Structure 1
Amino acid sequence: MTIDTATAQRQVLDAADELFYERGVQAVGMDAIRTASGVSLKRLYQLFPSKDTLVEAYLDRRDALWKSMLAEHLDAATEPRDRLLAVFDFLHDWFLQRDYRGCAFINSFGELGTVSPRVAELALQHKEGFRQALTELSKDAGAPDPERLADHLILLSEGAITRSAISGSADPALRAREAAVLLLDATLPVRQRALDQTTADEP
Structure 2
Amino acid sequence: MARERKNSVRQSIVETASRLFYKQGYTSTGINQIIAESGVVKSTLYTTFRSKEEILMAYLESEGAVSDKELKEATEKVNDPKEKVLAVFDYLVELVQQKEYYGCHFLNVVSEVTKEDEAIRTQIKKQKNNVRQLFRQLLQPIGKGDLTDEIYTLFEGALAGNKVHDDVFPVINAKKIAEKLLK
Structure 2 length normalisation: TM-score? 0.93
* Distance in 2, Cα, partners of 1:112 & 1:88: 27
Asked whether 1:106 is paired with 2:107, we answer: yes
Pairing 1:17-32 to 2, within 5 Å after superposition: 17-32=18-33
* Distance in 1, Cα, partners of 2:68 & 2:99: 19
Q: CA deviation at 1:115?
A: 2.8
**Who is 1:181 aligned against?**
179
**Who is 2:13 aligned against?**
12
**Who is 1:169 aligned against?**
167
Matched to 1:164, the amino acid is N
* Distance in 1, Cα, partners of 2:37 & 2:168: 29
* Distance in 1, Cα, partners of 2:158 & 2:83: 19
Q: Tell me the percent identity.
A: 28
Structure 1 runs of 4+ with >4 Å offset: none
Q: Which has the larger radius of gyration?
A: 1
8 A contact 2:68–2:130 mirrored in 1: no
SS of residue matched to 1:78:
coil
Matched to 1:82, the amino acid is E
SS of residue matched to 1:140:
helix
Residue by residue, what CA displacement relative to the aligned partner does 1:2-38 show, whole Å, maximum 9, x if unpaired?
Answer: 9812221121111111111111111111101011111
Asked whether 1:92 is paired with 2:64, we answer: no
**Who is 1:83 aligned against?**
84
SS of residue matched to 1:91:
helix
**Who is 1:198 aligned against?**
none
* Distance in 2, Cα, partners of 1:99 & 1:46: 32
Shift in alpha-carbon separation, 1:103–1:113, aligned structure 2, 3 A? farther
Q: CA deviation at 1:163?
A: 0.9
* Distance in 1, Cα, partners of 2:63 & 2:54: 14
Q: CA RMSD in A?
A: 1.5
**Who is 2:151 aligned against?**
153
Q: CA deviation at 1:141?
A: 2.2
Q: How many residues align?
A: 181
> Where do 5+ consecutive residues of structure 1 fail to align?
186-203
8 A contact 1:113–1:119 mirrored in 2: no
Matched to 2:147, the amino acid is L
* Distance in 2, Cα, partners of 1:140 & 1:38: 50
Q: CA deviation at 1:157?
A: 0.7
Q: CA deviation at 1:88?
A: 0.3
Q: CA deviation at 1:128?
A: 1.3
**Who is 2:128 aligned against?**
127
